[in-house]
Amino acid sequence: MAMSLLRTSAARRAMMSTRSSPAVFARGKATLPDLDYDFGALEPYISGQIMELHYTKHHQTYVNGYNTAIEKFDSTSDIKSQIELQSLINFHGGGHINHSLFWKNLAPKSAGGGELLGPKSPLSKAIEGKYGSYDKLMGTVNAQLAAIQGSGWTWIVKDSTSGDLEIINKANQDPVTAPYIPLVGIDAWEHAYYLQYKNVKVDYFKAIWNVVNWKEAEKRFLA
């Protein structure tokens, strides 16, 4: 009996101790993903200098900004402060997501960059069914890229509800969200092209298709 009471008392003390201690939530930090190729591997279409700056400076800034905003969000219980941090989390978190997808979107010519999929490919059939050909798809994407005012992205996406392909624009660093699945994204921010193409961004839009990784796009399409 005495042993039973001791056990019950100990259990109650442990429960009270747990209830009185604040919950601790540790969120993992975002990090730069590894690149599958060297900075200069996409030349002459995207210069090694642009790739190095884009990856080590701009993408790293989004990673750092997201981690800082999340740390501040987790450290405060003030609702107003958390709401104010949401825009930073969306911007930097979106930048991290978009660029992580973007690097995988690309591949050197030696690794299949720019190589179109065969006619029996499920993605090829979807492209031809909706747009008629790869060339017409790329032309439509380039037209939407040229229409972006300021900064943003153009994405080839799959509608997960209908299975259809669509082309959508996203402002700033807003990520692609449901019901869409991102297949190929083109970065229309100046830092993605200006050192090489200056103010002639349409030449960048045309050139980048030479290193688009269509095999990666089909993986996303079939996922």
pLDDT, residue 6, reads 32
pLDDT tens sequence across 75-125: 999 999 999 999 999 999 999 999 999 999 999 999 999 999 999 999 999
CB 183 within 8 A of CB 155: yes
Structure confidence at residue 181 (pLDDT): 98
**For residue 168, what is the DSSP state?**
E
Q: How many Cβ atoms from other residues are within 10 Å of residue 119's Cβ?
A: 8
CA of residue 122 relative to chain centroid, distance? 23
CB atoms within 10 A of CB 29: 11
pLDDT tens string for the chain (223 positions)?
443 333 334 444 433 333 333 333 446 899 999 999 999 999 999 999 999 999 999 999 999 999 999 999 999 999 999 999 999 999 999 999 999 999 999 999 999 999 999 999 999 999 999 999 999 999 999 999 999 999 999 999 999 999 999 999 999 999 999 999 999 999 999 999 999 999 999 999 999 999 999 999 999 999 9
Say which amino acid occupies 105: N
CA distance 119 to 166: 20
Looking at the DSSP bridge assignments, the partners of residue 170 are: 153
Tokens standing for 194? 């200006």
Structure confidence at residue 1 (pLDDT): 42
User: What strands lie across the sheet with 180-187, from one edge to the other?
Assistant: 165-171, 152-159, 180-187
Q: What is the pLDDT at residue 27? A: 64
Strands (E) in 27-98, as ranges, are: none
